[in-house]
Structure 1
Amino acid sequence: MKFKAFLTLDGVALLDKRFLPSLDKIGRTCHLYLTRTHTVILHNLLSGDGVQSIAQFKNDFLFRDLRISSNCDDRIAFLVDAAILHRAVHSAAAVQARSEIQIKLVKKLPAGSTSPAPYLTFETKGLKSAVVQDVPISKPLSRAEVGQLQEALDAAQDLPQTLVQVPDLAQLQNLVDRLKNVGDLLTVAITQYGDLHLQVSTSLITVGSEFRRLKVLGVHADAPAGDQNLSAPTRTDMAIQRGQALSVQVSMKHLAKSLQCHLAKPDCAFYGIAPEGACLTMIFQFFIPGTRVTDKSISFHCRLPVLDTGN
């Protein structure tokens, strides 16, 4: 099993300033999954608990002179502490302008141990010195475990039939900060008309907010003219009855954690509910700098487990 590459300037900047700060907030431990073509950072895909997040990058964007081989069709996966990984990348970013950074998998003998342990090593070579940072990792996953991870990754790529573009993520963050003081459970409804409805209910109070006429991707429908003067809960209930909306209940804690994805600075975000209310999906879109063209070298999305379906 071998992995060795040099980090690119753009790759280090993206990981250090945007993605790793975000992913560390979602969960401390994550899977790092390396293939010939992509590098993927995953949270909770195998456990099924908590917020699932998938950040995927084309290797051409992150690395140059990549060499990877394994008995799992040149695929390697392991667990790593996101905070320690971020510190290593941040330190590398500080010196990259003056030297190259090589990243590789190694085995070393920890102090006081008689058995070698695996590390992801960052080696910075200058003209007169070299700095080595060792990031501890788990034992690489077996062939069967890598297969399970790939199956879970493939299953997580299924998109909801209807996606709505949410407003500014900072605005949504402020709303969720207010709603979480009311209750622990949030009802989310999304219609094919482009409406996003958020509501918290307790035995004493119901508080909600609605965003209407949002951009819709996928299955779209025109809102009935007779619904315009109805209340938001009534319109949502009628849309669900027509099969033109889905509603689910999620943990407020999970939603607040998923909103940490805004630290990755996406250009826009879309929310959708999987068929039969299987999960709440959040897809983050990135543009090529200076354009409105989607950067296909980066993909990032989250899935929130559903506590109850309001379908």
Structure 2
Amino acid sequence: MLCARSLYFHKRRFYKGLYHFPSEFQALNNFGLIFIFSIYLGLLLEEEENRKVEIKFKAFSILTEHGVSLLERLFLPALDKMGKICYLFLTRDHAIFQHNLVNGDGVQCIAQFRKEALFDDYRISSQNEDRIAFTIDVSLLLRAVQISVSICTEFGNGPSANRLQIKLVKKLPPNCTQPMPFLTFETKGYKSAVIQDVPISKPLSRAQVLELHTALDMAQDLPQTLVQVPDLNQLQNFVDRMKHVGDLLNVSISKYGDLHVQISKTLITLGAEFCKLLVVGEQAEAPSEDRNLGVQTRLERAISRGDAQSVQVSVRHFSRSLQCHLAKPDYAFYGIAPQGACVTVIFEFFIPGTRQTDKSISLHCRLPVLDPGSS
């Protein structure tokens, strides 16, 4: 709101401006002048509100060389395969990329980074508990990072030159009357700096951020049984061959460490079984009397004992989730949520040069389950 002193100042400036147009305002009485001044005051208030919107949020960060490498070579190419647009959710301690988490019917994908994993300097502030969320085109973001990397490589001068500054700003684009939000990349070369503006959506409202945060919390629930798949390429090759057979894929996981994937048509059935995988969570010993039985019979008996679950998913969704191998995870874990709500894929990353899990990075997908009765 405008204070009394500011209101007095603008009133004086308004009437002083009338002297420049004497003939236009001679016919106006006091009521006419008051009406025009009220319009002028309304425009001032609107300008004041727009100014407040501009300073409602601030974000500034400097990416480390390791952070640039993670985004440019691994995670952004994988996220780009998942979909064109994603949410970027920034908090005091994390940067989170999210696909289809709210009102999405496709594969949900969540990549979460602690600030230390990406940034050397990270500052964020907003009126919503220092939380900012917006949508962004992943391909444009990837291109901006790639251009910055090429500039640093060509014109860089030591490690300090390989740092990339990112700011969340509002600018007035050409031929526009309202400022638009951008993610601005500033890359400092040897003799010059290159600035790139990546357009983003209007930051989400407080209610929308709360909805996104709630969906994120719900997506953290883990299946009771997870099996480790060490070779994603083998699974990827098999699914690529099955895509030409049908659209629906049966996925079964047992507490014995077995993963079954199968696709069926009228005259053909293709399937693969991965046995004796590492089990995380609830596990059980396979009965000795089942060892000489066929795959389908063993699976049916395990389901009847409550030691296995089987659901049906889209082949396209399953294949898309495998694109996360572009992020080069060390292991992948597959599980089925209780009551067959979804198929969860969790990717594990090691600290470079060790066999210890890197807890500053997490990536997982959730595949929607199809109703077999409606297929």
State TM-score, norm by structure 1.
0.97
RMSD: 1.2
Give 1:96 deviation, angstroms: 3.6
Q: Is the aligned partner of 1:164 residue 2:227?
A: yes
- Higher relative CO (Cα under 8 Å, sequence separation at least 6) belongs to 1
Give 1:308 deviation, angstroms: 2.6
2:340 pairs with one of 256, 269, 277: 277
| Corresponding position of 1:72 | 128
Q: How many residues are aligned here? A: 310
Q: Is the aligned partner of 1:81 residue 2:102?
A: no
Structure with the largest fraction of strand: 1
Q: Is the aligned partner of 1:14 residue 2:77?
A: no
Contact 1:57 1:298 in 2 (8 A): yes
Q: Is the aligned partner of 1:301 residue 2:364?
A: yes
* Equivalent position SS for 2:277: coil
| Corresponding position of 1:147 | 210
Counterpart AA for 2:169: V
Q: Distance in 2 between matches of 1:288 and 1:2?
A: 31
| Corresponding position of 1:90 | 146
Q: Distance in 2 between matches of 1:167 and 1:265?
A: 12
Q: Is the aligned partner of 1:231 residue 2:231?
A: no
Q: Distance in 2 between matches of 1:187 and 1:281?
A: 14
Structure 1 unaligned blocks of 5 or more: none
1:267-292 deviation digits (Å, cap 9, x = unpaired): 01000000000000000000011111
* Equivalent position SS for 1:304: strand
| Corresponding position of 1:30 | 86
Q: Is the aligned partner of 1:266 residue 2:322?
A: no
Structure 2 unaligned blocks of 5 or more: 1-56
Q: Distance in 1 between matches of 2:230 and 2:301?
A: 24
Structure 1 window deviating more from structure 2 (74-83 vs 93-102): it is: 93-102
Q: Distance in 2 between matches of 1:58 and 1:309?
A: 39
* Equivalent position SS for 1:295: coil
Contact 1:249 1:306 in 2 (8 A): yes
Counterpart AA for 2:348: Q
Q: Is the aligned partner of 1:128 residue 2:191?
A: yes
| Corresponding position of 2:114 | 58
Give 1:115 deviation, angstroms: 1.3
1:254-310 deviation digits (Å, cap 9, x = unpaired): 011111000000001000000000000000000011111000110000000000369
Q: Is the aligned partner of 1:4 residue 2:60?
A: yes
- When Rg is computed on C-alpha atoms for both structures, the one with the higher figure is 2
Q: Distance in 2 between matches of 1:262 and 1:126?
A: 32
* Runs of 4+ in structure 1 over 6 Å off: none
State TM-score, norm by structure 2.
0.81
Counterpart AA for 1:225: S
Contact 2:87 2:133 in 1 (8 A): yes
Q: Distance in 2 between matches of 1:93 and 1:33?
A: 23
Counterpart AA for 2:179: P
* Equivalent position SS for 1:21: helix
Counterpart AA for 1:69: S
1:89-148 deviation digits (Å, cap 9, x = unpaired): 111222346223210101111122111110000011245311000000000000110000
Counterpart AA for 1:222: E
Q: Distance in 1 between matches of 2:111 and 2:230?
A: 21
* Equivalent position SS for 2:235: helix
2:247 pairs with one of 169, 184, 199: 184
Structure with the largest fraction of helix: 2
1:42-61 deviation digits (Å, cap 9, x = unpaired): 00000231000000001012
| Corresponding position of 1:289 | 352
Q: Is the aligned partner of 1:255 residue 2:307?
A: no
| Corresponding position of 2:53 | none
1:8-51 deviation digits (Å, cap 9, x = unpaired): 11000000000000000011100001011010000000023100
1:195-245 deviation digits (Å, cap 9, x = unpaired): 000110112222111111001000000000000111111111111110111
Q: Distance in 2 between matches of 1:8 and 1:22?
A: 20
1:49 pairs with one of 60, 84, 105: 105
Aligned CA distance change for structure 1 residues 63 and 167 (closer, same or farther; 3 Å)? closer
Q: Distance in 1 between matches of 2:190 and 2:277?
A: 55
Q: Is the aligned partner of 1:221 residue 2:277?
A: no
Aligned CA distance change for structure 1 residues 113 and 209 (closer, same or farther; 3 Å)? same
1:169-188 deviation digits (Å, cap 9, x = unpaired): 11111000111111100000
